[in-house]
Structure 1
Amino acid sequence: MNINQTIFASTTLLAAPQFEKQLRVYNVCIHQPLSIISDGIWTDIGTKPSQSTFTLLELQIIVIFLVTQAFNFPLKRLGFPHFVSQVMAGFLLGPSIPTGPLEKYKKMLFTFGTPDILNSISSLGYAFFLFLNSVQMDLSLITKTGKKAWVLALGSYFIPIICGFTISNMFTPSLESAIGIDETSNLAVVFISHSACSFAVVSSLLNDLGIVNSELGRLALSSAFVTDISGGVMTGVSIAIVSSIESGFSKILKNVIAFLAYVLVVPSIGRPAMKWIVRNTPEGRRVNKIYIDAIVVAFLLLGYSAKFFNQPFLVGAVICGLAVPEGPPLGSELVHQLEIYSTWFLSSLFVTCCTMKVDLTNFAPIYLFLVISCFIAMVHLVKLLLCLGVCRFCNMPSIDGLCLALILSCKGVVDICSYILVYDGMRQSPQAIGVMILSVLVLGTTSRFGVKSLYDPKRKYAGYQRRNIVNLKHHTELRIVACIQKPSHMLHIKNVLELCSPRQDNALVADVLHLMELIGRSTPIFIAHKLQQYSSGTCNYSGEIIVTFDLFEHDHVGSATVNTYTAISPMSLMHEDVCHLALDKNAAIIILPFHVKWGVDGSIELEDNNIRSLNSKVLERAPCSVGILVNRGPAGFNSTSYDVALIFLGGSDDREALCLAKRFVKNLDNRLFVYRLAAYNHDSTNWEHMIDDEELRGIRGAYMKLENVTYEEIIIEDASQTTTFIKEIANKFDFFIVGRRNGVRTTQTSALENWTEYSELGVIGDLLASSDMETKASILVVQQQQTTPVS
């Protein structure tokens, strides 16, 4: 072998025993003693790098990641999921894709036996991957899941299995003559595995598509959770039976009872112990590292103990993970500590190592390929019909039923690894496993592309119903959705509600939404606190916010109604919760906090780009008007009366701001100053200008008779005069309200557009919020509802 010599001097494939057709027997010559670490490439003596196990392992890992990224670079841009790149890397580095002149180097790098070392290490990472996915599952979904999700979950799992057994029993003689007795007996693995649905795979798909907290996403997650738990229990019982079938009925019964006891006892004991850890962790502090280490040790011991009743090590990982309370502080800390090591490093290696075992050059016979394909198609056709039927019965759109079927049919990393574990146990032939791996690629990609093209979560906001303040009748209640992300936002939002002057003829209904980032759990949460049933085991989210706004409602009894909610979802998808609540509650305006926090001295103390991204997304697709609240002072304004200035240039946003300002002065202690900045050469016949004049007529007429309303019209020739005027009044008021006027160009502001730092505030709002403007006033920037949301 000369310079290509590795730690194995030669390998020779021998004939397998006739009674074991799936076995391959090798005669292996190996260098002894084995070298762990190379002496280096610059020495004339010692071992070559390719003859040391650790160096070869490092080279294998490097090559796998390079090849995976080479596939991922184009495939990601085409919309393929990441696991496809891992699978393709396995095909290329394994026997499935011949590499011509590079074949000898591939054999030198992955010589006989060395992938087993990589497999052993990466399989531990896969066990941690399953453990973390179980940690992020919410066990309470079992009791919270509605009838619809239960019907979908159990139906989509058991009905295809029943159909599969029925068909295979009906055509057993024909199948045995076509594909053989062994393959026919193993067909059950095909339709049972394809009937199952992995919660981790579905959660990953929904997160990638950005619909995890949509109505469809929540239903799919609940269904996938029930299916995964049901499938896991059924698989465990099946393993206990099959592995003990030769030992007699008593052994089967013993293993089944031991497995069921394992499933019930470990969470029953582990869950209270984990909650004790949570209770003994101070609020806002990280969990003690001793507890994290103890949980990891327990996870390893549970995996080891599973072998005593013939269960795989991975069962311990799943059961131990389910015992851990999801979310902060414990679940999130485990995810934080282990995710990069397991999910992004070792488990990705494991997927590639698994697919390196598949040999697609050893094509399956045409009849075997057709039979397996037909059973797979049957399973997913039954799922499709079931989902369509349930959605039709529940008056859901048929397109949602089709998307739901695609989601529940999705396959991914967990399925690939499960099939290879079945192959390692010699429960399937190499040809059958090759077909099943290809089916994972097909189903994983078609599900992703299908749902992405068919389901648009923005479509529910695309109605043409007017949801704004301008179109509210005079004495109609004002419905507001107010969002809070940080404790500092709470007082500012409360003050804005106070400014809205709730009274009998100016009623206020506020839905206060506390937005929290989803950490350490897979399932988004939406809690209506007035409907929440508290118990000793229930987490009390948003306690301070609930108390604050309950007191506000008590202070304005009969004129203000406040409902508090908590939404826990990924930062990138929080806008869905905001828009959905506004749509559901028929809100006229959404109030969002600005992403910049100012210090006492007027300097910028904190900028949160996640909040800014949320605000931009809500502005794009909100089903009603939107207001962004900017607070220049450290604690907002605290008073029973406010001096409010409205800067009016014209346009729909300014008219929306004017209608909101009119509600402020229902409290006679508040004073409103309306400044209309008119261009010196304005066209009085312009339609928009005529609408502005009509809207201002009330301010100049009836409202001017009120002592707390002042109207002034100022002629502005250019943007510099606008800047000068705003600087003059910046310190005279407690509160400014302006329109965003997005895309509206006028002579009063055109020269300022190129200097705008925060486009979501518009020109005037940005000018008031700039660091050059010395003011302690709060600013509300209003955008009227866009009839057709921007996609």
Structure 2
Amino acid sequence: MSINSNYTVFNRITRLNETGYLVCFDAPPHTVSDGLWSEKENGRTPMKSFLPLFELQVLIIFALTKSTTFVLKPLKLPEFILQMIAGLIIGILFELKGMEKYMSVVFPYGTHDIISAISSIGFVLFIFINGVQMDFSMITRTGNKAWAVSIVGLAIPLVAGITPLLMFPEKIIAIETNNGNGLYVALVSHAISSFAVIASLLSELQIQNSELGRLSLSSALVSDLLSTIITTNIIAVRTGSSFNVISTNLISLFILAVFVPLICRPILLLIIKRTPEGTNVKDSYIYVIISMVFALGVISVKIGQDFVLGAFIFGLSVPEGPPLGSALVKKLQFFGPTFLLPIFVTTSVLKADFSVDFSSFVMVSTGMVILLTHVVKIAACFITALCCKMPVNDALCLSLILNTKGVVEIGAYHTLFDSNVIDGKTYGVMMLSTMIIGTIVHWSVKLLYDPSRKYAGYQKRNIMGLKRNSEPRILLTVQKQNHISAATDFLDICCPTPENPIAVDVIHVIELVGRALPIFIPHCLQRQASNSASHKSYSDDIILAFDIYEHENENAVSINTYTAISPANLMFEDVCNLALDKVASIIILPFHIRWSSDGTVESDDKKVLRALNKKVLEIAPCSVGILVTRANSIAKATPINSITSEYSITRLAIIYIGGTDDDEEILCLARRAMNSPRIKLVVYHLVSKDCIAELEDLMIIGDEILEELKHSENVQYQEIFTKDGSQTAGFLREIVTEHDFFIVGRRHGSMSPQTDGLSEWSEFPELGAVGDFLASPDLNSWASVLVVQQQLSLRNELNGWVL
């Protein structure tokens, strides 16, 4: 069948034989065209010029990918699978009658390699970024469980696959010859695990900082490094034609792997040292580093290795995290993984030959090797995990995660196909196996593993459930330094004394940028390995501040500090896990907005803090309090009198409506605060004018805590009768300047006449109707506001279900 030159990027095509053609094109080739309506004498038409053709192809690929994502969204497929499906659709359109003519115009013969070569830059940057995000030092701190699972999961499948080769070498070689070298590739590629692929899977499932996610990443880190050593040595041996060549390749590989980190890492650390804290790395440094990525890629090709090997080794040499690692990730994330990588995946599928039937020798033999390799690997990882005393469900999920396939395998198969190591049919089988395995693992793990199930307990964890004078456990969440003073102000409200001490856990949450492995550091047990400069500078001030507070309240407060570095959308896991482990009674979260004294917004962090607060409110294993502070909010507290002016009082107001567990919780906090000479406590009991009878019933029944507060000499109790939300708002507006601190219940989902209408004007539902009104900058108030929600699971349990 002859090829029409009109449907190619070439000027003329002459057929030489059954499979060969002589092509003619201009040198240098046309990059840009003269436009749709220009003269065609020079031949620079859009479909014969590379840039407009490339732009059109990119547009079509992205349109198909987004359409596929929208249509198949209910299936919840991995992102790279949707990009592969877009490639399958384009391939199918080529085969449809009536469409091949139009597809040949859009994707003419000769352009597949061009768009693939350009988009492969995205794959190189993807590998480099994942190398940057790897914390290579973690390899020395990875636990025995991760080492055991990764080594056994890698060694057993390889041994099981190599055994038949040693026992029946002639038969295996004959099968391999007829199979396009697919058996070796299938065995090795499906026995190894890729850190980048597993990190992407865990990110899509949003479980990378769960217990299973951390173990999976640690195991993948070990497995990926061992796999890289094995595959690079195999390539070095197979590409050598003699002993001298093989020796040269191995020595060159050793030099590349050893001297690049030894030379480059000190230089990169010097760049970090010369970058002032809090400032960005200079763009000139970034551009030099990117140039080195491609230079090392060329060097790796010169020694017979893949282009991406140099980028991967150099990525491992870059110090992960801020300022350099995060700067590189931010600079390259869009151009590489976001823009070019999807094009690379789609065009890689276009090259595959899917014309194999299920009875063909290639399909059966390669498919059997892939199936047996995965069965052996899953069994090996599963049994090893069980021996390490992991739960059955978690062990199965771990073995599935370590067997997943993705973009890295696609890039490897693409390189092997372009190098004529495997043929088109074997390449097609490999692509299908990647799609099937990636989909099965994604669905299976999502079905089997639910990290939130551990929060669905029946144990009461709140202030109200504590015995009288028992030690409450409080978890303070801090993100910025200005949250420290607000947190210590709340601790003062809790009135810690040697007779009534409190236990406090402080967690400093930091957004994970420029690294892939989440980090959790208990500073009370901090080892030398955890005391690196990369995260020491973040928490030092916070640790020091709470150490000073603990020293000032000796025998009254015990404080343990922690640092959690994790993705913004998964910070709640660290907070809730710590609250669960420490049996906390209440979690205190900072509000995402901080107002200055004149009512302007001083800081606003919707992306991290507000998302964290909302998620913790949903699944917290204990009560939750959101603390709204303003600049210098407690600084205006007034001295008690001239004699006791060594300390100042805090004018604390409790807004109590009743009828919900949230309101009972704030009364428990008030009972602790009333014994402090530094606190002037006022309890405002808002009662509806239409519910006087209910108030009388309440007096007859008698709420113990409310009765205790009413008859305490240290508490001023007032009953305020309001008809609706407007009267409540008017009353709150009158008293807002008389107090330094308010504690209110969130009352989520509860309706009462006292707040009727207030919720319609609420801007932040997480604060409740009253809390949102008190936090409004329109009130021109200095007061802090604590909005308390009791443990949700208790309420849901009463309704017959648990979160």
Does the pair score TM above 0.5?
yes
Amino acid at match of 1:359: D
Q: 1:600 aligns with which of 597, 600, 611?
A: 597
Deviation string for 1:464-510 (max 9, x for gaps)? 11110111112221211111122221211121112222211211111
Match of 2:205 in 1: 209
- Identify the residue that residue 19 of structure 1 maps to in structure 2: none
SS at match of 1:287: coil
User: What SS does structure 2 have at the residue aligned with 1:675?
Assistant: strand
Quote the offset at 1:648 in angstroms: 1.0
- Give the superposition deviation at 1:382: 2.3
| Structure 2 counterpart of 1:26, one-letter code | Y
Structure 1 residue 327 displacement after superposition:
0.8
Count of residues in Structure 1 that have an aligned counterpart in Structure 2: 776
Q: Is 1:615 equivalent to 2:613 in the alignment?
A: yes
Aligned CA distance change for structure 1 residues 393 and 45 (closer, same or farther; 3 Å): closer
Root mean square deviation, CA, Å: 2.5
The separation in 1 between residues aligned to 2:206 and 2:436, in whole angstroms, is: 21
Shift of residue 699, structure 1, vs aligned partner: 1.9
Shift, 1:13, TM fit: 7.6
Structure 2 residue 234 is matched with structure 1 residue 238: yes
Counterpart residue number, 2:333: 339
Gaps of 5+ in 1: 16-23
Specify the alignment match of 2:708 in structure 1. Answer: 698
1:459, 1:343 → 2: CA distance? 33
Is the Cα contact below 8 Å between 1:95 and 1:359 reproduced in 2?
A: no
> Which residue, out of 242, 261, 267, partners 1:267?
261
CA contact (8 A) 2:8 2:109 kept: no
Task: Tell me the equivalent position of 2:749.
Answer: 743
Contact 2:181 2:421 in 1 (8 A): no
Q: Determine if the alignment matches structure 1 residue 93 to structure 2 residue 90.
A: yes
Greater Cα offset, 284-293 or 627-636: 627-636
Does structure 1 conserve the Cα–Cα contact (< 8 Å) formed by 2:598 and 2:780?
A: no
Q: Is the 8 A contact 2:523 2:563 kept in 1?
A: yes
After TM superposition, list the pairs within 5 Å mapping 1:327-726 onto structure 2: 327-363=321-357, 365-534=359-528, 537-539=532-534, 540=536, 541-610=538-607, 611-637=609-635, 640-650=648-658, 651-680=660-689, 681=691, 684=694, 693-701=703-711, 704=712, 706=713, 708-726=714-732
Output the CA distance in 2 between the equivalents of 1:96 and 1:157.
Answer: 40
Matching residue within 136, 142, 164 for 1:145 = 142
Work out which of the residue numbers 21, 24, 30 in structure 2 matches 1:26.
Answer: 21
Question: Structure 2 stretches of 5 or more lacking a match?
Answer: 638-646, 797-801
One-letter identity of the residue aligned with 1:195: A
The 3-state SS of whatever aligns with 2:652 is strand
**Could you tell me which residue of structure 1 aligns to residue 791 of structure 2?**
785
Separation in 2 of the partners of 1:686 and 1:428?
Answer: 86
SS at match of 1:730: helix
Deviation at 1:322, TM superposition (A): 0.5
Contact 2:651 2:680 in 1 (8 A): yes
Distance 1:157 1:689, change over 3 A: farther
Does 648-657 or 35-44 show the bigger shift? 35-44
CA distance in 1, matches of 2:14, 2:431: 28
After superposition, the Cα gap between the structure-2 partners of 1:188 and 1:583, relative to the gap in structure 1 and judged at 3 Å, is same
Letter in 1 for 2:669: L
Deviates more, 1:375-384 or 1:151-160: 375-384
Paired residue type of 1:224: A
Tell me whether 1:732 sits opposite 2:738 in the alignment: yes
C-alpha spacing 1:531/1:7, structure 2 compared with 1 (3 Å) = same
Q: How does 1:167-182 map to 2 (within 5 A)?
A: 167-170=164-167, 179=175, 181-182=177-178
- Check 1:35–1:715 CA distance in 2 against 1; reply closer, same or farther (3 A cut): closer
State the AA in 1 paired with 2:708: G
Contact 2:9–2:110 (Cα < 8 Å) also in 1: no
Shift of 1:677: 1.6
Give the secondary structure class of the aligned counterpart of 1:101: coil
Residues 610-619 or 315-324, more deviating: 610-619
Q: Residues 14 and 180 (structure 1 numbering): CA distance in 2 closer, same or farther, change over 3 Å? A: farther
Compare 602-611 and 284-293 and name the one that shifted more.
Answer: 602-611
Closer/same/farther in 2, CA of residues 279 and 110 from structure 1, 3 Å limit: same
Matches within 5 A, 1:153-192: 153-170=150-167, 179=175, 181-183=177-179, 186-192=182-188
Answering whether residue 44 of structure 2 is matched by residue 35 of structure 1, we say: no
Q: CA deviation at 1:299?
A: 1.9
Mean Cα deviation higher: 769-778 or 460-469: 769-778
Cα distance in 2 between the residues matched to 1:148 and 1:368: 38
Task: Quote the offset at 1:132 in angstroms.
Answer: 1.1
CA contact (8 A) 1:7 1:53 kept: no
Change (3 A) 1:613 1:63: same
SS of match in other structure, 1:512: strand
Question: Does the C-alpha gap of structure 1 residues 92 and 689 become closer, same or farther in structure 2, counting only changes over 3 Å?
Answer: farther
- Of 756, 767, 787, 1:761 maps to 767
How far does the alpha carbon of each residue in 1:92-124 deviate from its partner, in whole angstroms, 9 at most, with x for none? 334796132111232233333222222222222
Q: Secondary structure at the match of 1:10?
A: strand
Q: CA deviation at 1:633?
A: 3.9
Partner SS, residue 473 of structure 2: strand
Deviation (angstroms), 1:285: 0.7
Q: Out of 374-383 and 465-474, give the one that drifted further.
A: 374-383
Could you tell me the TM-score, scaled by structure 2's length?
0.92
Matched residue type, 1:286: N
What secondary structure is seen at the aligned counterpart in 2 of 1:433?
A: helix
Inter-CA distance 768–414: structure 2 relative to 1 (3 Å threshold): same
Instruction: Summarize the Cα distance change of 1:142–1:4 in structure 2 as closer, same or farther, 3 Å threshold.
Output: closer
Aligned to 1:257: 251
1:598-617 CA-to-partner distances (Å, cap 9, x unmatched) read: 11213333332122221111
Residues in 1 aligned to 2:727 and 2:674: alpha-carbon distance in whole angstroms:
29
The AA in structure 1 aligned to 2:612 is L
C-alpha deviation, 1:159, in angstroms: 1.0
Identity of aligned residues (%): 42
2: CA distance between counterparts of 1:480 and 1:522?
30
Distance 2:159 2:664 in 1: 63
Distance 2:657 2:170 in 1: 83
Q: Distance in 1 between matches of 2:302 and 2:228?
A: 18
Report the equivalent of 1:21: none
Q: How far apart are the structure 2 equivalents of 1:692 and 1:414?
A: 67
1:649 Cα deviation (Å)? 0.8
Change (3 A) 1:34 1:519: closer
* Contact 2:628–2:785 (Cα < 8 Å) also in 1: yes
Equivalent-residue separation in structure 1 for 2:200 and 2:50 (angstroms): 35
Tell me whether 1:9 sits opposite 2:8 in the alignment: no
Query: What residue identity is the alignment partner of 2:138?
Result: L
Distance 1:13 1:576, change over 3 A: farther
The 1:628/1:13 distance shift into structure 2, 3 A limit, reads: farther
Q: Shift of residue 575 of structure 1?
A: 0.8
1:735-770 deviation per Cα after TM superposition (whole angstroms, max 9, x unaligned):
111111111111111232222222111121112112
- Name the CA shift for 1:718/1:64 in 2 (closer, same or farther; >3 Å): closer
